[in-house]
Amino acid sequence: MLRFLTTAAVAALCSVAAAQEGAPAPAGPTLTLGDKAPATAVKVVKGTFDGKFANDKVYVVEFWATWCGPCKTSMPHLTKLQKEYKDKGVTIIGISDETEDKVNNFIGSGDWPQKTEYVIAIDDNRKTSTNYMKAAGQGGIPTAFIVGKTGLVEWIGHPMSMDEPLAQIVDGTYDLEATKAEFAKEQAFDLLMQQAQQKMMTAFQAQNWDELMSIMDGLKEQAPASMVPQIQMQQFTVMAAMANMPEAANRIATEIINQHGDDAQMMNALAWSMATDPRIMEPNLDLALKAANLGVKASNGEDASVLDTLATVQAEMGDFEAAIKTEEKAVGMIEDGDMKAEFEAKIAEWKAEMATTG
């Protein structure tokens, strides 16, 4: 649900580390699960929402922007959920803090009208974002808040991960207290992580990779189980793409594979990074292939994006015949026109490469 500080963010923050030194420690969140849902202050530009949360209804308050790639990826899924729950008292509201013209131009272009078949609204001077995102300590979009039938915030997280909690909240089987306890641990750890950022930035500036790894190991020991994989991925990225220490990076990658081989998204992220990150000078494609195959297995071969990652790894290894076969399976699963065109372009590129190399 929370987002670990990326190495790119560390690099960017390093330039202002001196200015931040001596700044007060970040305050904890003031909005958490089980709290009454804050008021919204929005202008609806598509769909119907009167700004109030009715009893016995469920609402998804989601924050997005036209420039946000992951937000756009989530939109067809939100449309799918809105259609699925249209007769079950669920209203999905996507809120942007951009101008009305910019949002209207976006949702009115191309196939976005069909991909955004839920309420779209404009935030009033970021008031709603402040009440939700800032208050809950959420720094990245897209982020969704599920408001349950009694007007309480019952779930916070990435909209692509909310299928199960939404289903349980709608049918009344959701365990709010258990989820609340786990989320409180994550919020507490997020605050601890923020407090460690200055030390991380200092180590980063000095390229003291051992110190940076030590700090991250300490965070890993204190992190809730759900957060450990994210820290491991960050450690891999630091060692592989920034410190250029392939042996250490491969040890971390192996640890991730051994511990999380049944997690399709973790395997997909690791394999994709190893195969495509141009900063990694010595990628271990054998490990990438192992992770990619585990990702396909964990997703039962039914996730086009995971298949695309496997195909990309196969192509990077020079096995264009296998890559084309895998990518063609992925294309057969896709309804999104833009994604299908992207995958088909890869197939054409690999076929041309095969013809060139004989």
142, amino acid identity: P
Q: What is the pTM of this model?
A: 0.60
Other beta carbons within 10 angstroms of residue 74's beta carbon come to 23
- In order of 10, 34, 229, 308, the CA distances from 269 in angstroms are 19, 32, 11, 12
Can you tell me which residue has the tokens 């202002």?
Answer: 16
DSSP 33-67: TTSBPPP--EEEEES---S---TT-EEEEEE--TT
pLDDT value at residue 358: 62
Report whether 295 contacts 271 (CB < 8 A): yes
Helix axes 7-14 and 197-205, enclosed angle (nearest 10): 80
Q: Residue 210: helix, strand or coil by DSSP? A: helix
Report whether 311 contacts 346 (CB < 8 A): yes
**Cα separation, 153 vs 358, whole angstroms:** 59
pLDDT value at residue 27: 55
Q: Residue 121: helix, strand or coil by DSSP? A: strand
**Cα separation, 29 vs 24, whole angstroms:** 15
Contacts of 103 (CB under 8 A, 6+ apart): 45, 66, 96, 120, 122
User: What domains are defined for the chain?
Assistant: 26-172 (3.40.30.10), 207-357 (1.25.40.10)
Scored b (16 or more CB within 10 A) or e, 199-216 reads: ebbbbbeeeebeebbebb
One digit per residue, pLDDT tens: the chain, 358 residues? 333 334 444 443 333 333 334 444 445 578 889 999 999 999 999 999 999 999 999 999 999 999 998 899 899 999 999 999 989 999 999 999 999 999 999 999 999 999 999 999 999 999 999 999 999 888 889 999 999 999 999 999 999 989 999 999 999 999 898 888 877 777 777 777 777 888 888 998 899 999 999 999 988 888 878 778 888 998 999 999 889 899 999 999 999 999 999 999 899 999 999 999 999 988 999 999 999 999 999 999 999 999 999 999 999 999 999 999 999 999 998 877 778 889 999 999 999 988 887 6
Interstrand relation of 119-123 and 90-96 (parallel, antiparallel or unpaired): parallel
Scored b (16 or more CB within 10 A) or e, 273-283 reads: bbbeeeebeeb
